[in-house]
Amino acid sequence: MAGRESELSGEQKVVDALYDRLDALRAQTRERLRDVRRDGPSGSPQNRSERDAFATLYEDRVAQLEAVEDRLAFGRLDLRDGDRRYVGRIGLTDADHSTMLTDWRAPAAQAFYRATAAHPDGVVRRRHLVTRGRSVTGLEDEVLDLDAIGAGTPGGADVAAGLTGEGALLAALAAGRTGRMGDIVATIQAEQDAIIRSELSGALVVQGGPGTGKTAVALHRAAYLLYAHRRLLERSGVLLVGPSRVFLRYIDQVLPSLGETGVVTTTIAELYPRLVATGAEDDAVAELKGRPALAGVVARAVRQRQRVPARPQEIRVEGRTVVVTPHDVGESIARARRNHRPHNLARVTFVREMLARLGDQYVEQLGYPLPPDERGEIHEELRSHREVRIALNLAWMPTTPQKLLEDLYARPARLEAAAPELTPAERRLLAREPGAPWTPADVPLLDEAAELLGEDDQAARAQQRVDAENRAAELDYARRVLQSSGNEGLVSAELLADRFASGGPRLTTAERAAADRTWTYAHVVVDEAQELSPMAWRMLLRRVPTRSMTIVGDVAQTSARGGARSWHPTLDPVLGSSWRLAELTVNYRTPAAVADAAQRVARAAGLPVSPLTSARDVADSLVVDRVHDDPALVASAAGHAAVALESLAGGDGGRVAVVAASGRVRALRAAVESTGVAGALGAGPTALDAPLTLLTPRETKGLEFDVVVLVEPAEVGAGSAGDLYVAMTRPTQQLRVVHHAPLPDGFEV
C-alpha cells in the first residue's frame, strides 16, 4: 500500500506541474489578447485586420486551453529505453521547449492505445491515471514487458485480455449518462485506434453493431485528422453529417473537448443553404424521392425547359419582321448544350445565338450593309423587345431549383413527361400543392436541380479572379507576420491570410462553408450512414470531390425504406471500388443480457446483424412486465419510468427514456404528466438535458440512456425491425419492457 501511495503522490506532482503549465499558458495567451485589444480601433486598415487576426487567434487558443481542463493528462508510457512519456488531451512543452505532455494524436502517443504484451512496441508499462478535477485518485498499470520491468515492481498488474485499461474503461462505461456524449480519449481501444488513425485518403466505412463506438470513433477520427493534416483540412474544412438536430446536440461537446471547434455539423435536411425542410411525409414517398432514377427525372425536367416551338413565330420589331423559327431555336439549343454548362448559364449562349440569327434577318431587310459596331445596338433592341423576350424565354426558360421541383410535383403532365419510368401510382405519390413545406427527401432533389440549373455566377467568377490575384500577396505577407511575431506553429499562414483578407465581421471557414452550396470539403464524416438514400449520397459526394470520407453505420439498424441493407449495393454505384471497410465488434454500451436479447430478435427478423461481444454485464439489466390489457400499457410504462428515475437519483444520476410507437406518445405524455415525475420530463431539441424523455424508436437513433422503458416491442418491430433493434440497444444499465401483445420472436431464449 505504501508503494501505491508514493506512486500516487509522485503522479500528483507530475499532474500539478502540467496544470501549472496550462495555467501559465492561459495567462500568457489572455495577456496577449488583452494587449491586442487594448490597441483599440485605430491605425491603417492593414494594421486593423492584422490586429483582428491576432485577436481571433488568441481567442481560439484561450478557448482551446480552457476546454482541456478535465483529464488533461490520463496516461503514461514507460519505455524500454528508460524514457517516460505522459499522454494527454493536448501537447505541452515547458519553457525550454522540452515535452511535458504528448498530444494523444501524436505518433509518440500511439503505443498508449495499441501496444500489447505480444507487441509491446518498446513499451514496458502503460499506466492509466484516474483523476478527479486536478487530483490523481487512482492508477492502473499494465505491464507489457515483464522481463524489462523486473518482477515485483510496485503497481504491476495483469494485462487485461483484449481490452486496454480495463478498470478505467469499465468505470467509464458504468458512469451515469448526462444527455451529452463524452469523449473516450483516455480509453480508446486498439481496434478503434486503428480506425481513428487510418489514412486520410479514400472512403473508410466503419460497420459495427450498436454501441461499438462508431460515433465516438468518427468524432475522434475527425479530431485526429485535423491534427495530423491541419494545413490541408483547415482551409476547406471538415463536414459532419448526423441523423437529426437532437443527435447533433447530443454529440456537440465531444470535438470541443478534444480542442477542435471548426467542424461543420449538419443533417441531410439542412445541407441545402437557407432552406428549412420541416415537412413530413410517408416513408413510401421519401423512399421514392431517394431512388437513383430521380436524378434522371430531374435532369429531364431541366431539359424540358429547353423547348423547340411547334411553329414559326413572326415578330414586328421597329417596322421589320423577324421570325423565330423551330429550325433556328433547335440549332441554338444544340449549340448552347454543347458547352455543357448548367441550364441557367448555358442560356446566355442560347440567347446570344438567337439574337445573332434574328439580327441577321433584321439586317437583311435593311437592304444595306451594317458596320459591325452597329450590330450590337440591333441585338440590344431585339433583346429588350417584349415579344422576343417571351419567345426566347419559352424556348429556354430560366428557373430556380425550387420552382422546377414545385412545378414537377404540382403538374401531372410535367411529371409524366419527366418521369415516364414511374408508374401512375408512383407519380401520384409525388403530387403536391405548390407552397407545401419542403421535406428532408426533397433536399437532395433540390440540390440535384441546383447543380443542373446553376446560378448566375458571372459576378462571383469575376470576384474569384480578383481574389486569386490578391491571395498570393496575402499569403506571403501572413508568412512574414508569423515569422516575425514568433507565432509559427500556432496557426497556418493560410488561415492567417484568410483572416487578414476578410473585412467586416469575420466568417470562419465553417460559416462560409455552411452558407455555400458549392463548397467542397477536405473530409466528410457521415454518421448513421445506413439511412442515406441514393439521392442523398449523390448530394453528399458533390461536397467531397476527393472522396476522403469516414462513413459509419450499421446496416442492421436501418429505418429508412431507401436506406442501406448492405454496403456494397449502396456504395459501389457511388464510390466504385474506392472504399475500404473496417469493423468494430465490441459493444461498450449495452449490458450483455440486453444486447443478446436484441440480437436474437434482430436475427429472427432477418436483419444483417454484425457479430457483437459485450464488454460487460449488469445484474437485472432486463426487466419484462406483461400487463393485462392494452390500455394498461401507458400507466405501467409511466410507473416504470418513475421507478427508474428514483433508483438513478439514489446513485450518481442519469437519464431515462420511454420509447414507444408514435401513436402512443400523446397518451404516454399524459400518463407521465399525471405522475409525480412530470417535472423531470423534457421536450423539444433540448429534451435530452432533462432526466426523462419520451421518444419514438427512430428518434433514439445514435442516442443512449441509463434506462430505457420500451413499450410494446412487437408493435415497434411491426413498423420496422431495424427500429426495434435500435430501441432495444439504447440503455447502458437496464431495459424495462412493458408489453401486452406477445413478445417478438427471439426475445425469449
Ligand X SMILES: Nc1ncnc2c1ncn2[C@@H]1O[C@H](COP(=O)(O)OP(=O)(O)OP(=O)(O)O)[C@@H](O)[C@H]1O
Q: Which residue is nearest to ligand X (CB)?
A: 213
Tell me 419's DSSP state: -
Residue from 213, 243, 691, 722 that binds ligand X (CB under 6 A)? 213
192 binds ligand X (CB under 6 A): yes
Residue closer to ligand X by CB (options 29, 215) is 215
Distance of CA 425 to the CA centre of its chain: 35
**Least distance in angstroms from the C-beta of 703 to ligand X:** 7
Q: Considering only the stretches 181-189, 228-236, 567-575, 641-649, report the one whose residues sit in contact with ligand X under the rule CB under 6 A.
A: 181-189
**What's the half-sphere exposure (Cβ side, CA atoms, 13 Å) at 174?**
11
Is residue 182 a known part of a binding site?
A: no
User: Reduced to 3 states, what is the DSSP secondary structure of residue 101?
Assistant: strand
- Concatenating the DSSP letter of every residue in 552-596 gives EE-TTS--STTS-SSHHHHHHHHHTT-EEEEEE-EESSS-HHHHH
Q: Considering only the stretches 208-216, 359-367, 447-455, 711-719, report the one whose residues sit in contact with ligand X under the rule CB under 6 A.
A: 208-216
Residue closer to ligand X by CB (options 187, 492) is 187
165 binds ligand X (CB under 6 A): no
Residue from 65, 68, 188, 645 that binds ligand X (CB under 6 A)? 188
Residue closer to ligand X by CB (options 509, 559) is 559
Backbone φ and ψ of 45, nearest 5° = -55, -40
Cβ-count burial 553-563 (b if 16+ within 10 Å, e if not): bbbbbbbbebb
- How many residues bind ligand X (CB under 6 A)? The answer is 23
Is residue 211 a known part of a binding site?
A: yes
**Least distance in angstroms from the C-beta of 701 to ligand X:** 7
Q: Considering only the stretches 74-82, 130-138, 214-222, 360-368, report the one whose residues sit in contact with ligand X under the rule CB under 6 A.
A: 214-222
Q: Which amino acid is at 345?
A: L
172 binds ligand X (CB under 6 A): yes
88 binds ligand X (CB under 6 A): no
Residue from 215, 509, 700, 733 that binds ligand X (CB under 6 A)? 215
Residue closer to ligand X by CB (options 729, 733) is 729
Helices (H) and strands (E) in the chain, counts: 30, 21
**Least distance in angstroms from the C-beta of 549 to ligand X:** 17
Q: Please tell me the distance from the alpha carbon of residue 96 to that of residue 111, in angstroms, as a whole number.
A: 26
H helix intervals, 229-323:
230-236, 245-251, 254-257, 283-290, 293-303
Q: Please tell me the distance from the alpha carbon of residue 156 to that of residue 296, in angstroms, as a whole number.
A: 65
Is residue 213 a known part of a binding site?
A: yes
List C-alpha distances in Å: 697 to 29, 245, 249, 643, 728. Answer: 47, 16, 18, 21, 9
169 binds ligand X (CB under 6 A): yes
Residue from 212, 332, 399, 509 that binds ligand X (CB under 6 A)? 212
208 binds ligand X (CB under 6 A): yes
Residue closer to ligand X by CB (options 380, 617) is 617
From residue 724 to residue 743, the character string flagging contacts with ligand X as x (rule: CB under 6 A) and all else as - is -----x--------------
Q: Please tell me the distance from the alpha carbon of residue 445 to that of residue 407, in angstroms, as a whole number.
A: 13
> Which residue's C-alpha cell is 514487458?
145
Residue closer to ligand X by CB (options 126, 589) is 589
Residue from 130, 184, 264, 595 that binds ligand X (CB under 6 A)? 184
The answer to whether the beta carbons of residues 671 and 634 sit under 8 Å apart is yes
Residue from 242, 702, 713, 722 that binds ligand X (CB under 6 A)? 702
> Which residue's C-alpha cell is 454501441?
211
610 binds ligand X (CB under 6 A): no
Residue from 385, 589, 655, 698 that binds ligand X (CB under 6 A)? 589
Residue closer to ligand X by CB (options 58, 113) is 113
Q: Considering only the stretches 167-175, 223-231, 388-396, 470-478, report the one whose residues sit in contact with ligand X under the rule CB under 6 A.
A: 167-175
The answer to whether the beta carbons of residues 557 and 527 sit under 8 Å apart is no
Is residue 208 a known part of a binding site?
A: yes
**Least distance in angstroms from the C-beta of 248 to ligand X:** 13
Residue from 75, 88, 167, 211 that binds ligand X (CB under 6 A)? 211
Q: Please tell me the distance from the alpha carbon of residue 217 to that of residue 503, in angstroms, as a whole number.
A: 37
The answer to whether the beta carbons of residues 105 and 223 sit under 8 Å apart is yes
Cβ neighbours of residue 238 closer than 8 Å, sequence gap 6 or more: 222, 225, 226, 262, 263, 264, 521, 522, 523, 524, 525
Residue closer to ligand X by CB (options 197, 589) is 589
440 binds ligand X (CB under 6 A): no
Cell of 532: 442515406
CA-based nearest residue to 602, from 205, 212, 207, 209: 209
Q: Please tell me the distance from the alpha carbon of residue 681 to that of residue 637, in angstroms, as a whole number.
A: 14
Residue closer to ligand X by CB (options 172, 624) is 172
Backbone φ and ψ of 693, nearest 5° = -135, 150
**Least distance in angstroms from the C-beta of 214 to ligand X:** 3
Residue closer to ligand X by CB (options 210, 639) is 210
List C-alpha distances in Å: 156 to 26, 104, 140, 152, 167. Answer: 36, 23, 9, 7, 14
The answer to whether the beta carbons of residues 86 and 76 sit under 8 Å apart is yes
The answer to whether the beta carbons of residues 546 and 201 sit under 8 Å apart is yes
656-659 and 705-711 strand pairing: parallel
**Least distance in angstroms from the C-beta of 693 to ligand X:** 16
Q: Please tell me the distance from the alpha carbon of residue 590 to that of residue 699, in angstroms, as a whole number.
A: 18
**Least distance in angstroms from the C-beta of 553 to ligand X:** 7
Residue from 210, 237, 440, 444 that binds ligand X (CB under 6 A)? 210
588 binds ligand X (CB under 6 A): yes
Q: Considering only the stretches 12-20, 184-192, 448-456, 627-635, report the one whose residues sit in contact with ligand X under the rule CB under 6 A.
A: 184-192
216 binds ligand X (CB under 6 A): yes
Is residue 214 a known part of a binding site?
A: yes
167 binds ligand X (CB under 6 A): no
Q: State which of positions 516-575 bind ligand X (CB under 6 A).
A: 554, 557
Q: Considering only the stretches 13-21, 122-130, 210-218, 712-720, report the one whose residues sit in contact with ligand X under the rule CB under 6 A.
A: 210-218
Residue closer to ligand X by CB (options 188, 602) is 188
Q: Which amino acid is at 260?
A: E
Q: Considering only the stretches 79-87, 182-190, 367-375, 517-525, report the one whose residues sit in contact with ligand X under the rule CB under 6 A.
A: 182-190
Residue from 64, 102, 131, 189 that binds ligand X (CB under 6 A)? 189
508 binds ligand X (CB under 6 A): no
60 binds ligand X (CB under 6 A): no
706 binds ligand X (CB under 6 A): no
From residue 647 to residue 686, the character string flagging contacts with ligand X as x (rule: CB under 6 A) and all else as - is ----------------------------------------
Backbone φ and ψ of 692, nearest 5° = -125, 135
Residue from 187, 313, 508, 558 that binds ligand X (CB under 6 A)? 187
- Concatenating the DSSP letter of every residue in 183-219 gives --TTT--HHHHHHHTS-SSSEEEEEE-TTSSHHHHHH
The answer to whether the beta carbons of residues 209 and 596 sit under 8 Å apart is no
214 binds ligand X (CB under 6 A): yes
Which residues of 250-347 form beta strands (DSSP E)? 264-266, 313-317, 320-324
Instruction: Detail the residues annotated as belonging to a binding site.
Output: 208-215
Instruction: Detail the residues annotated as belonging to a binding site for ATP.
Output: 208-215
Binding interface with ligand X (CB under 6 A): 169, 172-173, 184, 187-189, 192, 208, 210-216, 554, 557, 588-589, 702, 704, 729
